Amino acid sequence: MIVATLPAIAIGALCVLGVNLYAAAMIVLRAVRYRTPLYRPMLLNIVLSIVPIVLAVAGFVVVLVAQASFFGDPRFGWIGPTSFALAAAMFLAFFPNSAYLITELNFSHRKEGTACRCGSTSS
């Protein structure tokens, strides 16, 4: 039996969506504030980082429907685990892009031959 509840999944999805909207706003505001070109590939990466969440929620619903529809019929006992495995595989296929966002913005705007001088005290 699946232990996760629908409110917990909805709150998690809304939190991820909120963080992604905040990141998109920061990218757009960075371009405006510092008069730099808008880094459009990063906006695409933000959209792609939402895909695992959509797949996770969709997979959860599919597994619930599959388990509820054929509950008690031993001939269809394979549907729940199979739909879970397919949803998990699709989730894992898109998940690396989510973690990649952490470093993408930092390294994508550096010019060749320059180093980060964050926290340096030298003049």
pLDDT at 68: 75
Domain containing 97 equals 7-103
Quote the number of domains for the chain: 1
Residue 117 maps to a domain:
no
Give average pLDDT by consecutive 10-residue segment, the chain, 123 residues. 66 83 88 86 82 80 75 74 81 70 62 52 50
- Residue 82 in any domain: the answer is yes
For the chain, helix, strand, coil in percent to 5 are 75, 0, 25
pLDDT at 123: 47
Asked if residue 108 belongs to a domain, the reply is no
- Confirm whether 80 is domain-assigned: yes
**Model confidence, pTM:** 0.59
For residue 2, being part of any structural domain is answered with no
Q: Is residue 89 part of a domain?
A: yes
pLDDT of residue 34: 87
Tell me, yes or no, whether 95 lies in a domain.
Answer: yes
